[in-house]
């Protein structure tokens, strides 16, 4: 059991056949059951879904992105409005990331694609330089030059006021070599120490700090960084950076870390949200996940469905043009209780803004249902059967 | 009292100082109190607002556009899914227009601007020809050639299944001369007779038909067309077409019609939704209004506020950057109970899709509140005082 002031993490059950576990993560804004999924409210708003809709969809934890919010509207404005909780009207637990991922993502062209092993199209590079002090980069909004240090990230996250906050790290692209990865990781660990020191100076019990495991695809680097986080006074552990080129490599990389991270602390896997990936992560002992995918795919007319080929249904498919069925007859969400696939297809095709809201609500309910069923299956030792029910086409 | 099957309109009160009146309009999907405002669900969706949100905002009647729906997804698909009520999950009263306004609007370049006296930028002309039979035009979606006759409009509106439907008419631009307006109006009246005949052939008590008063800005044409609708078996009367170049001319034009329309039937003023215009219309005996403006202005960050200069508040204004107040402290809506002007400004500036939903909900609640207060003021003889409260800068 990990404890720090009002924060606690308690393991409440274990899967007999894997490292999967259930737990309870307590924060000043309430406790959540793990494994849990955190929905992304990047700019202090989950795209097209109000806090009331999030709650009605069974959501109990969300995250917001330090990088976007430090640029617009700025951390001071959020602080003046009561922090993120007051600002965005969310009264449950929240996490902010450090800002590093997006700085390096936008800076290196597209790390977001690269850490997942995809080489995307070129984007304008906004990262100017990385030094021991921190990162200098250009605002995505107006091009003005900005600087983020470990202490600066802590200060901004303090102003944003999320319950769970994360140390600053450099997020290395997938293609960089072992030498660069090792040097970058060493600097991220020094940044971690500076974050811890700054956090300790200001700690008033309202926040808890996660360390990050970097180290690319290199087993001994992942081990070293896992031991680093284990041996420091972080409340939680986050797994970040390049997780390999595909699902199997992601499992491998998380597997390099798992034996060496702190066994009693909550572990968060950054930026992973596929249903198959979640089953794989849960089996390796991951306690929480986040990803933009449930709302991002909704925007393109994809509905997450238990048991669907490829984990989801393409509402644009002509076969649904006159289909009176809801997305998922077994789903209790507002969208499935009220609307047909035909109507949702119409909204998606007509580019009606309501499509984003309705399909997102369904996807959020579905992810919350997935996590609840995973927690029940861990308790009952039926994780394999549950995975086959959610992903029948899995090997 | 007008009656037709399950439909009825009863005047329940009159303003001592004007032609304003309160009423009750009964349809197979429930009764509404008038004067009422109809929110536009153009493509079978009020932009960004679910039926549940509409209901929570106190809405009891909406409309949808025949023109858009006949093209996408098509009237047969809507019919197969249970008509508009089943298709879009709205169980209250609904109105569809005839399709004419948009055909001629898009056809003449931009009648939507012209009927309101604004000469807008050029748009591609999609109207091919108008004959006694009907209108031939190109689909806005894929350019295919389409044809709409009076009987076709009735058939499509029958398939869409709204409670209140409207005869096909030609909507003449503002700039056309008296001769064109007179000839067009005469054809619209012949189209009205064909709509009435077709409606009578298929009438099963589920719908009620409105005739339309055209006649441009010409008093004797407006009188002639008002008498035409009065002397036919329409259930209701709609005032359409060019209403002049400004608010004063709109009052004049409606004033030409008012003495001659049927005094016992509900009167709908098409496409008018400014708060000042509504007060003016109500005083001339208008029972219902519709306009896209409450959701359209929301998209641009404008919130309707009782007593605000110009009827609304620009949420993008820098003065609200750190403003912790809700849009309107006196407003009971979800948005005002939950969010600050500062947060809404952030959402608007960040182009977050939630902005549309939250500001629209506020604007819808505000319009419903306006109409409720207008109904109360008619009963109490306090319409002038109410107008000064809503529009303090009015003359």
The confidence score (pLDDT) of residue B124 equals 61
Collect all residues of chain A within an 8 Å Cβ-Cβ radius of residue B159. none
pLDDT at A83 over 90: yes
pLDDT at A115 over 70: no
B102: nearest Cα among B360, B229, B255, B292 = B292
The confidence score (pLDDT) of residue B172 equals 84
Cβ atoms A225, A214 nearer than 8 A: yes
Catalytic residues of B: 97, 290
Cβ atoms A174, A242 nearer than 8 A: yes
Structure tokens at A77: 């404005």
Cβ atoms A216, A242 nearer than 8 A: yes
pLDDT at A106 over 90: no
Distance, CA of B199 to CA of B207 (rounded, Å): 9
Least confident of A123-132, A248-257, A285-294, A377-386: A123-132
Under an 8 A CB cutoff, do B343 and A81 touch? yes
Cβ atoms B366, B305 nearer than 8 A: yes
Strands A145-148 and A135-138: antiparallel
pLDDT at A281 over 90: yes
A222: nearest Cα among A164, A264, A284, A276 = A284
Residue B393 vs residue A63, higher pLDDT: A63
Contact residues of B toward A, CB < 8 A: 43-52, 68, 72-73, 77, 80-82, 87-89, 321-322, 324, 334, 338-340, 342-343, 345-347, 349-350, 352-354, 356-358
Domain with CATH 3.20.20.105 in chain A: 37-291
Residue A90 belongs to what H/E stretch?
Answer: none
The confidence score (pLDDT) of residue B123 equals 52
Distance, CA of A146 to CA of A197 (rounded, Å): 23
* Lookup result for tokens 């309009």: B25
Query: Strand, coil or helix: what is B214?
Result: coil
The confidence score (pLDDT) of residue A284 equals 97
Residue spans of chain B under pLDDT 70: 106-124, 394-395
Read off the pLDDT of each residue in A211-240 and give the average, rounded to a whole number: 97
A48: nearest Cα among B50, B346, B356, B363 = B356
- In degrees rounded to 5, what are phi and psi of residue B35? -65, 140
Structure tokens at A122: 């070129």
Min CA distance, B155 vs chain A (Å)? Answer: 20
The confidence score (pLDDT) of residue B111 equals 45
Collect all residues of chain A within an 8 Å Cβ-Cβ radius of residue B77. 321-322, 342, 346
Predicted confidence (pLDDT) per residue in A168-202, tens digit: 999 887 778 999 999 999 999 999 999 999 999 99
The confidence score (pLDDT) of residue A124 equals 61
How many CA atoms within 13 Å lie on the side-chain side of A178? 5
What is the layout of strands, in order, in the sheet containing B135-138? Answer: B127-130, B135-138, B145-148
pLDDT at A121 over 50: no
Query: Strand, coil or helix: what is B269?
Result: strand
Helix count and strand count (H, E) for chain A: 16, 17
Q: What is the b/e burial string over A116-140, where b = at least 16 CB atoms within 10 angstroms of the residue's CB? A: bbeeeeeeeebbeebeeebbbbbee
The confidence score (pLDDT) of residue A110 equals 47
- On the 0-12 / 13-18 / 19+ scale of CB atoms within 10 A, B234 is buried
The confidence score (pLDDT) of residue B114 equals 46
Measure the CA angle with vertex A70, ends A65 and A74; round to 5°. 125
Min CA distance, A37 vs chain B (Å)? Answer: 21
Collect all residues of chain B within an 8 Å Cβ-Cβ radius of residue A52. 334, 338
Catalytic residue among A60, A97, A277, A328: A97
pLDDT at A17 over 80: yes
Across the interface, which of A45, A342, A354 has its CB nearest the CB of B81? A342
pTM of the model: 0.94
Please determine, looking at this structure, whether the domain spanning B8-291 carries the CATH number 3.40.50.720.
no
pLDDT at A38 over 80: yes
Distance, CA of B66 to CA of B148 (rounded, Å): 11
Domain with CATH 3.20.20.105 in chain B: 8-291
Q: Residue B335: which residues within 8 A CB-CB, separation 6 or more?
A: B326, B327, B344, B358, B359, B361, B362
ipTM of the complex in this document: 0.94
Collect all residues of chain A within an 8 Å Cβ-Cβ radius of residue B362. none
Per DSSP, what are the bridge partners of residue A289?
A37, A269
Chain centroid to CA B122: how far? 24
Where are the strands (E) in chain B, listed by range? Answer: 2-4, 7-14, 21-27, 30-34, 36-40, 62-64, 94-96, 127-130, 135-138, 145-148, 164-166, 208-213, 236-239, 267-269, 288-291, 302-304, 312-314
Across the interface, which of A338, A339, A346 has its CB nearest the CB of B73? A346
Q: Residue B86: which residues within 8 A CB-CB, separation 6 or more?
A: none
Question: What top-level class would CATH report for the domain A37-291?
Answer: alpha beta
**DSSP per residue over B109-125, as a string?**
S-HHHHTTT--------
Q: Which of B333, B354, B356 to mutate to test the interface with A (most CBs of A within 10 A)?
A: B354
Predicted confidence (pLDDT) per residue in B41-68, tens digit: 999 999 999 999 999 999 999 999 999 9
The confidence score (pLDDT) of residue B118 equals 47
Distance, CA of A326 to CA of A311 (rounded, Å): 17
Under an 8 A CB cutoff, do B47 and A352 touch? yes
């Amino acid at each position: 059991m990990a404890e720090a002031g009002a924060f606690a993490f308690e393991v409440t059950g274990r899967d007999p056949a894997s490292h999967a576990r259930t737990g309870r993560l307590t924060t000043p804004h309430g406790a959540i059951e793990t494994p849990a999924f955190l929905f992304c409210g990047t700019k202090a708003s989950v795209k097209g879904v109000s806090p009331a809709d999030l709650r009605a969809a069974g959501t109990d934890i969300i995250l917001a992105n330090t990088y976007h919010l430090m640029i617009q509207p700025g951390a001071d404005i959020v602080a003046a409005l009561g922090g993120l909780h007051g600002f965005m009207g969310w009264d449950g637990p929240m996490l902010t990331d450090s800002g590093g991922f997006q700085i390096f993502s936008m800076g290196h062209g597209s790390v977001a694609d690269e850490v997942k092993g995809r080489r995307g199209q070129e984007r304008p590079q906004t990262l100017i330089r990385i030094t021991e002090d921190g990162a200098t980069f250009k605002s995505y909004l107006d091009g003005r030059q900005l600087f983020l240090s470990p202490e600066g990230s802590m200060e901004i996250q303090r102003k944003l006021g999320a319950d769970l906050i994360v140390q600053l790290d450099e997020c290395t692209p997938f293609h960089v070599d072992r030498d660069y990865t090792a040097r970058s990781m060493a600097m991220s660990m020094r940044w971690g120490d500076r974050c811890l020191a700054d956090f300790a100076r200001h700690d008033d019990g309202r926040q808890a700090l996660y360390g990050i495991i970097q180290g690319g695809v290199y087993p001994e680097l992942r081990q070293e960084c896992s031991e680093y986080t284990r041996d420091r006074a972080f409340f939680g552990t986050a797994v970040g950076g390049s997780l390999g080129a595909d699902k199997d490599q992601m499992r491998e990389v998380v597997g390099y870390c798992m034996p060496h991270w702190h066994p009693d602390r909550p572990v968060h896997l950054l930026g992973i949200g596929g249903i198959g990936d979640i089953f794989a992560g849960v089996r390796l002992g991951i306690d929480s996940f986040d990803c933009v995918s449930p709302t991002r795919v909704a925007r393109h007319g994809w509905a997450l469905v238990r048991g669907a080929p490829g984990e989801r249904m393409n509402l644009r498919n002509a076969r649904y043009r006159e289909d009176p069925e809801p997305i998922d007859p077994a789903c209790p969400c507002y969208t499935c209780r009220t609307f047909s696939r035909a109507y949702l297809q119409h909204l998606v095709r007509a580019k009606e803004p309501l499509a984003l809201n309705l399909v997102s609500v369904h996807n959020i309910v579905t992810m919350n249902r997935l996590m609840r069923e995973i927690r029940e299956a861990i308790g009952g030792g039926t994780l394999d059967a549950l995975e086959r029910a959610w992903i029948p086409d899995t090997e």
